[in-house]
Copies of this chain bind each other. A is one copy, B any other.
Amino acid sequence: MTEHAYYNQAIHGPYETHSIGDHVLEEGGTIRGCTLAYATFGTLNAAKDNAILVPTWYSGTTKIMEQVYIGAGRALDPAKYFIIAINQIGNGLSTSPHNTPFPGGGPNFPRVRIGDDVRAQHKLITEKFGIEKLALVVGGSMGAQQTYEWAVRYPDMVRRAAPIAGTAKNTPHDYLFAETLIEAITSDPAFKGGWYGSPLEVHQGLRRHAKMWAVMGWSTEFFQQDRIKALGFSSVDDFITNFMNGYFGVMEPNDLLCMAWKWQHGDVSRHTGGDLKAALGRIKAKTFVMPISTDMFFPPADCAAEQKLIPNSELRVLNTIDGHLGLFGTDAGYTEQVDKHLRELLASAA
């Protein structure tokens, strides 16, 4: 296989890979030789009680988690913690539609659920590192979905949880938004039902997808207060072309679609026959629910409603006008708030 122009060590590394073998999925499919790409920071102590797990969001890889959330002097400080950032299945680095050969790859890649990711990650950290307790699981957006799944599925293993800008059960509105993103891509005739040659052939669909992210991803205030210029872009067009398309336009459509379906169907209440209260009631982790104040599709109200169902939890709203994509760390005030809350959470008995 030739190296991919975007999903490679030069851009996203250094990362390691670990095969968990064949992975039978909740929806019935099997990923043959399922491989997780992951990166670690810091050292696992002898007691193996300083491990922090960081999953990834839609389109994101462990690299952006490292750049925005991990580092010396940060709450997630490799000097104190052993931080394991794991790429979700389908994100282009772990096993994904684009790097799975015919016939199981591309549009034939099986349906993957958040629960499949968390079971795979569980295998990795137990088999590879022998970790039995996680000091913290923290992730944003789809990373929050995985965080909730961890806390509900393995309640005795997760001591603290910090779901940022995400929900335990995806909302109907959020489902619809993801649907419009999916259709932006699949409606491009060049998509050819997923049998495109290179992702660049699907550039029209990818560009529509990126523009729709611009509408829902930031906020009205973000544009009104000219945050675009503060971020170094001369106009909305420049921002759409060189930031939004620059980011999304190089990705694999089939990989994005794998993640989008997974995002749409995130729901921890699958563990309890649809009873969300019962599912969230299982959580033993000390949990900080951290929505972003201006998030248009994981709004504070939706997150607060779930937080009320989690026994040992608090709501910690992150204030920024950068909306959901404040996750990217575009607002220094946002990352300061994240660090402040995570420090407090990590210092708390759990």
Contacts and interface: CB of A to CB of B under 8 A. Distances in A.
A211 B172 contact: no
A211 B297 contact: no
A231 to B, nearest CB: 14
Given A187-B188, A188-B187, A173 B222 contact: yes
Contacts of A172: 223-224, 228, 236
Nearest to A297: B220
A188 B187 CA distance: 8
Interface string A160-188: 00000000000111111101100110011
Number of copies: 2
A228 B215 CA distance: 24
Nearest to A183: B208
Interface residues of A, number: 38
A201 interface: no
A214 B177 CA distance: 9
Interface in A301-320: 301-302, 305
Given A179-B211, A187-B204, A173 B301 contact: no
B299 A220 contact: yes
A34 interface: no
Interface string A185-221: 0011100000000000000110010011011101111
Interface string A14-55: 000000000000000000000000000000000000000000
Contact of A208 (B175, B180, B218): B180
Interface of A: 171-177, 179-180, 183-184, 187-189, 204-205, 208, 211-212, 214-216, 218-224, 228, 236, 240, 296-297, 299, 301-302, 305
